[in-house]
Amino acid sequence: MQPLTNVNFSVSVGTAIPRDVRLQPLPADVIEIVPQYRGYNFVLVRDEIVIVDPSSYQIVATMPYSGRSTAAAPAPREQRKVTFSDRDRETVRKHVRAAPAERRTTTTGSTVRTEIRGGERVPDSVEIEAFPEDVYRDAPTLREYRYIHRDNRTYIVEPQERRVIEEID
């Protein structure tokens, strides 16, 4: 599959792409890495796999594309993507419920309101926090991640790229 190189839409999560863009079913090796996108479609745009909700044509995620596989395998750094277990999510919820009420209701970081969305980069003006050690002890897969809590939602963030990788309500 040849990547599109000249597109007239923004390649960002939430953007609806034109209906005349030819989508392909998401390959099984990508679904192994991001199982939550089973049944979704994709299109290659330049060096990115653009995952699209087939009912709305909205972009739900993007992943780097290495170009080495005909199955559109993601680049190696994405292959170690962690899928959190229900136990991990429950550990996060328990931590948030146990946090002082003022921390649960206030926005961390800047007073400027910034929309937080899955798959997108968190602006530098928004403070991301480390989980307490007891969370890492109960859910070791979270150790390399940080979080933001806002509007009764917790966002798990990959700290190097500052990307939201999961939202927990």
CATH of the domain at 100: 3.10.450
Same domain, 99 and 127: yes
Residues 93 and 148 in one domain: yes
Examine residue 100 and state whether it is found in any structural domain, yes or no: yes
Q: List, for residues 127-136, the tens digit of each pLDDT value.
A: 888 888 888 8
N- to C-terminal Cα distance for the chain?
A: 37
**Residue-level pLDDT at 102:** 52
Q: Which of 79, 102, 118 is the last residue of a domain?
A: 79
Q: Which one of 79, 98, 126 terminates a domain?
A: 79
Query: Over 60: is that where the pLDDT of 113 sits?
Result: no
- Does some domain include residue 54? yes
| Mean of pLDDT values over 132-158 | 84
Q: Are 92 and 151 part of one and the same domain?
A: yes
Whether residues 92 and 71 fall in one domain = no
Task: Tell whether 73 is covered by a domain.
Answer: yes
One domain for residues 97 and 73? no
Compute the distance between CA of residue 54 and CA of residue 63 in angstroms, rounded to an integer.
17
Do 90 and 162 share a structural domain? yes
Expressed as residue numbers, the domain containing 125 is 86-168
Total domains, the chain:
2
In a domain, 139, yes or no: yes
Are 98 and 161 in the same domain? yes
In a domain, residue 3? The reply is no
On whether both 94 and 41 belong to a single domain, the answer is: no
Q: Residue 2 domain-assigned?
A: no
pLDDT digits (tens, 9 = 90+) for 45-96: 988 889 999 999 999 888 887 665 434 444 333 333 456 788 888 988 888 8
Q: Is a pLDDT exceeding 80 seen at residue 104? A: no
Residues 93 and 59 in one domain: no
Question: What does the pLDDT look like over 16-42, one tens digit per residue?
Answer: 999 999 999 988 888 887 788 888 999
| Shared-domain flag, residues 91 and 163 | yes
Question: And the tokens for 160?
Answer: 């190097």
